[in-house]
């Protein structure tokens, strides 16, 4: 369902240009659980942003369900991000002076239709990450682990096919990490495609397949765990 | 995107930044208030002018004894000058070809009694011509005629305030009153005319024949004013020159300055128009300036927001906001600030207009369209100054915005 052909990304900052991705060709199937690993600065976040249509490569092609994404206009890309993807970021990115509930409702505002039972759906989504008792809390009144779970609830609200998570546990302790990973496993079992960027082996162990990013190229890692 | 959701959202965001939002709103409010005051004052001035034209016609020249100066838009007559006589009025009538009618008058505040009631009011001695020149109409009873004036008859015509206060609303025609010590018979009641351009109540007065006033009541030899009607407004300037010439000769002034002041209605209206325009210009520039300040405030607040809220913008884009959604949201926030400013400004404007008329004595006319103009201007300012930050915010690429510190 996600397919890239020869994706290149070069950052130019002043006279310095960094050739981060040097021809990434990969494909991720529907329902797969994939971890993207690699040392810091190898371009994992860059690749993830490109896969989620948040960023565009310098060259190359991205296909989603057979559709050439770069032939779509900006509004269509927004719609893709709204419906197809659920994003989970390392820094959570919640609206601070806003309640957990309102944060989770955010994607609905930009959906084609604002559902009549939006609040119910949002509460359900919060309940599915175990936060039914924190609905009216402001984002800033929640712990890091709770904030990340709100972010996951938000990612799930539009029932996306793909969850894209960039170091989702990077700012969390081991207990919160375990909670998040449990939720991810469950989402995977429900049939969602999971793409998780991490440099933590423990996190990667949950994945069926590990893509190793090195020197701007990807290769399948041997430590994959296909029976998961 | 759901507009109501966006509006609620914008409100939440604005309340989160209370201080700068309210600063913005206040300067918008001052601007809108100034606009409203300006429009109301403009209308007031218009009314004063219309009033002057209606009550005196346009072909009028007024000669005052001594010097008349305008203080704060109101006439002020200097100390009593005794050189202006009824003879002057007759001479003007006889010698100036363009003059159609003359009406000398004199007035004094005196005590008036009827049965056990008494009050102080302006007693004005006039000739019958005054009724024609100054559009004074009789509501009940009759006018007095020139015979009554010549023979110094004791007839009085009262204003509606006198009817209320002295006669307790009763029909006064035929009643005997005493002005000072002299007995008079009330022969008529003037039609109510309201307050004049100088803030004087034109219904709080009693008219009596000029000769009666001069000879019997006040025992003086002079008059205070002569109203002169000219055939057409085109002849005003010439008539004024002729009258000046004539009066200077009659008063034997030679190289002394005038002991009278001539005002012609056209110049008075012109002066009135000019002072109204100056005032409108002044208030107008205050209005424009504060609207500009409000607009720049909005610009600054929204540009700051654009920078500070890049992460928020990025996040919204990441969860599916289109460029135009971001633009709409930012524009809405500007409009909310402008709109609230407009509403507070409308309240402030109505209040200051009220103050201006109550304390300052300005003739002002409150009107819905003044408020409408104010609100419309604030909306326009909100739009104009909101568009740039809004399009700037919407131009951000999602990933740039998310990465921002
Ligand atoms: N906007 C940018 N402008 C210039 N260079 C950039 C930009 N973003 C990333 N880079 C560079 O690209 C390289 C890859 O960055 P990226 O964030 O993708 O790495 P990463 O694999 O996610 O690292 P980490 O594990 O530390 O998160 C880095 O060398 C970084 O300095
Ligand atoms: Mg990274």
Element at B304 (helix H, strand E): helix B265-308
Residues of A in contact with B314 (CB under 8 A): 93
Residues of A in contact with B5 (CB under 8 A): 109, 114
B392 — alpha (psi -120 to 50), left (phi > 0) or beta? Answer: alpha
Q: Are residues B183 and B235 in the same domain?
A: yes
Query: Closest Cα to residue B162, out of B145, B177, B174?
Result: B177
Distance from CA of B276 to the nearest CA of A (A): 51
Ligand 1 centroid, distance to A12 Cα (angstroms): 12
pLDDT of residue A181: 93
- Identify the DSSP state of B201: B
Residue A108 contacts residue A124 (beta carbons within 8 Å): no
Residue A128 contacts residue A114 (beta carbons within 8 Å): no
pLDDT of residue B188: 93
Integer CA distances (angstroms), B99 to A72, B11, B136, B234, B238, in order:
87, 70, 20, 12, 10
Question: Is there a contact between B315 and A75 if contact means CB atoms under 8 Å apart?
Answer: no
pLDDT of residue A224: 53
C-alpha span between B65 and B342 (Å, rounded): 50
Residue A93 contacts residue B306 (beta carbons within 8 Å): no
Mean pLDDT of B61-81: 72
Q: Are residues B116 and B212 in the same domain?
A: yes
Question: Is there a contact between B319 and A107 if contact means CB atoms under 8 Å apart?
Answer: yes
Tell me the domain boundaries of chain A: 31-58+85-223
Is the residue at B364 inside a domain? yes
Question: Is there a contact between A55 and B1 if contact means CB atoms under 8 Å apart?
Answer: no
CA angle A82, A83, A88 (to 5 degrees): 65
Task: Check whether B120 has a pLDDT greater than 80.
Answer: yes
The answer to whether B319 faces chain A, any CB pair under 8 Å, is yes
Mean pLDDT of A92-104: 90
Is the residue at B202 inside a domain? yes
Task: Check whether B199 has a pLDDT greater than 80.
Answer: no
Q: What number is the ipTM of this complex?
A: 0.93
Mean pLDDT of chain B: 85
C-alpha span between A119 and A105 (Å, rounded): 7
Q: CB under 8 Å to B8, separation ≥6 — which residues?
A: none
The atom number, within ligand 1, closest to the CA of A42 reads: 21
Task: Check whether B17 has a pLDDT greater than 90.
Answer: no
Q: Are residues B190 and B289 in the same domain?
A: no
pLDDT of residue B371: 86
Q: Are residues B152 and B32 in the same domain?
A: no
| pTM for the predicted model, two decimal places | 0.72
Ligand 2 centroid, distance to A44 Cα (angstroms): 6
Is the residue at B70 inside a domain? no
Is the residue at B69 inside a domain? no
pLDDT of residue A20: 94
Q: How confident is the model at residue B72 (pLDDT cuts 50, 70, 90)?
A: low
Task: Check whether B71 has a pLDDT greater than 70.
Answer: no
Domain extent for B380: 3-51+271-403
Q: Residues B337-366: pLDDT tens digits? A: 899 999 999 999 888 888 877 776 666 677
pLDDT of residue B132: 86
The answer to whether B403 faces chain A, any CB pair under 8 Å, is no
Mean pLDDT of B76-103: 85
Of the three residues B258, B286, B316, the one that is the final residue of a domain is B258
Which of residues A50 and B51 earns the better pLDDT score? A50
Mean pLDDT of B307-325: 91
For domain A31-58+85-223, which CATH number applies: 3.40.640.10, 3.30.70.250, 3.40.50.300, 1.10.1040.10? 3.40.50.300
Is the residue at B103 inside a domain? yes
> Among A103-112, B29-38, B209-218, which is the least confidently predicted range?
B29-38
Distance from CA of B364 to the nearest CA of A (A): 47
pLDDT of residue B77: 67
Which of residues B283 and A90 earns the better pLDDT score? A90
Which of residues B290 and B222 earns the better pLDDT score? B222
Q: How confident is the model at residue B57 (pLDDT cuts 50, 70, 90)?
A: low
Strands A33-37 and A209-214, by their bridges, are: parallel
Q: Are residues B24 and B147 in the same domain?
A: no
Q: Residues A126-184: pLDDT tens digits? A: 999 999 999 999 999 999 999 999 999 999 999 999 999 999 998 888 888 998 999 99
Total domain count, chain B? 2
Ion ligand 2: protein residues whose beta carbon lies under 5 Å: A 45
Q: Residues B121-167: pLDDT tens digits? A: 999 999 998 888 888 889 989 988 888 888 888 999 999 999 999 99
Q: Which residues pair with B264 in a beta bridge?
A: B61
Mean pLDDT of B266-276: 79
User: What backbone phi and psi angles, to 5 degrees, belong to B167?
Assistant: -105, 5
> Among A79-83, B209-213, B284-288, B384-388, which is the least confidently predicted range?
B284-288
Q: Are residues B121 and B252 in the same domain?
A: yes
Query: Closest Cα to residue A59, out of A6, A2, A4, A3?
Result: A6
> Among A31-35, A184-188, B119-123, B297-301, which is the least confidently predicted range?
B297-301
Of A22, A44, A47, the residue with max ligand 1 atoms within 8 A of its CB, to mutate for a pocket test, comes to A44
């Amino acid at each position: 369902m996600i397919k890239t052909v020869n994706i290149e990304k070069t950052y130019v900052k002043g006279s310095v240009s960094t050739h981060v991705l040097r021809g990434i060709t990969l494909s991720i199937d529907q329902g797969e659980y994939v971890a993207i690993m690699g040392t810091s600065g190898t371009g994992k976040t860059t690749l993830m942003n490109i896969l989620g249509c948040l960023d565009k490569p310098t060259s190359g092609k991205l296909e989603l369900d057979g559709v050439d994404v770069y032939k779509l206009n900006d509004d269509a890309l927004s719609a893709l991000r709204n419906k197809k993807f659920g994003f989970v970021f390392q820094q959570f990115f919640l609206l601070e002076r806003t309640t957990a509930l309102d944060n989770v409702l955010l994607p609905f505002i930009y959906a084609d239709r604002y559902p009549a039972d939006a609040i119910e759906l949002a509460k359900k989504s919060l309940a599915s990450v175990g936060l039914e008792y924190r609905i009216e809390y402001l984002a800033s009144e929640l712990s890091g682990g709770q904030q990340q779970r709100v972010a996951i609830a938000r990612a799930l609200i539009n029932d996306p096919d793909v969850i894209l998570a960039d170091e989702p546990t990077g700012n969390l302790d081991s207990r919160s990490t375990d909670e998040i990973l449990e939720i991810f496993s469950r989402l995977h079992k429900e049939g969602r495609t999971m793409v998780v960027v991490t440099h933590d082996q423990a996190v990667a162990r949950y994945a069926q397949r590990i893509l190793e990013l090195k020197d701007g190229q990807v290769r399948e890692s041997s430590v994959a765990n296909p029976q998961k | 995107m759901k507009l109501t959701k966006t509006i609620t959202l914008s409100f939440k965001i604005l309340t989160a930044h209370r201080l700068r939002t309210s600063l913005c709103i206040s300067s918008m409010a001052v601007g809108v208030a100034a606009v409203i005051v300006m429009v109301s004052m403009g209308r007031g001035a218009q009314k004063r002018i219309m009033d002057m034209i209606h009550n005196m016609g346009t072909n009028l020249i007024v000669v005052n004894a001594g010097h008349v100066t305008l203080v704060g838009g109101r006439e002020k007559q200097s100390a009593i000058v005794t050189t202006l006589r009824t003879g002057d009025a007759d001479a003007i009538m006889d010698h100036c070809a363009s003059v159609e009618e003359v009406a000398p008058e004199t007035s004094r505040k005196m005590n008036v009694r009827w049965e056990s009631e008494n009050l102080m009011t302006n007693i004005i001695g006039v000739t019958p011509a005054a009724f024609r020149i100054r559009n004074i109409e009789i509501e009940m009873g009759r006018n007095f005629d020139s015979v009554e004036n010549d023979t110094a008859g004791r007839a009085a015509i009262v204003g509606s305030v006198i009817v209320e206060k002295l006669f307790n609303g009763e029909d006064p025609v035929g009643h005997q009153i005493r002005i000072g010590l002299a007995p008079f018979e009330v022969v008529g009641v003037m039609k109510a005319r309201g307050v004049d351009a100088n803030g004087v109540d034109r219904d709080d007065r009693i008219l009596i024949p000029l000769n009666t006033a001069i000879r019997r009541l006040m025992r003086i030899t002079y008059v205070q004013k002569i109203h002169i009607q000219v055939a057409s407004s085109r002849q005003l300037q010439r008539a004024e020159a002729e009258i000046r010439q004539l009066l200077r000769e009659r008063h034997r002034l030679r190289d002394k300055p005038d002991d009278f002041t001539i005002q012609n209605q056209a110049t008075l209206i012109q002066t009135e128009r000019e002072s109204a325009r100056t005032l409108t210009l002044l208030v107008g520039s205050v209005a424009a300036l504060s609207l500009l300040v409000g607009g720049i405030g909005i610009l600054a607040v929204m540009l700051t927001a654009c920078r500070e809220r890049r992460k928020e913008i990025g996040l919204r884009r990441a969860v599916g906001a289109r460029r135009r959604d971001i633009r709409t949201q930012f524009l809405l926030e500007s409009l909310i600030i402008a709109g609230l400013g407009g509403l507070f400004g409308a309240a402030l404007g109505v209040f200051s207009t009220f103050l201006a008329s109550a304390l300052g004595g300005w003739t002002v006319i409150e009107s819905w369209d003044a408020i409408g103009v104010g609100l419309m201007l604030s909306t326009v300012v909100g739009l104009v100054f909101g568009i740039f930050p809004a399009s700037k915010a919407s131009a951000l690429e999602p990933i740039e915005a998310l990465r921002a510190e």
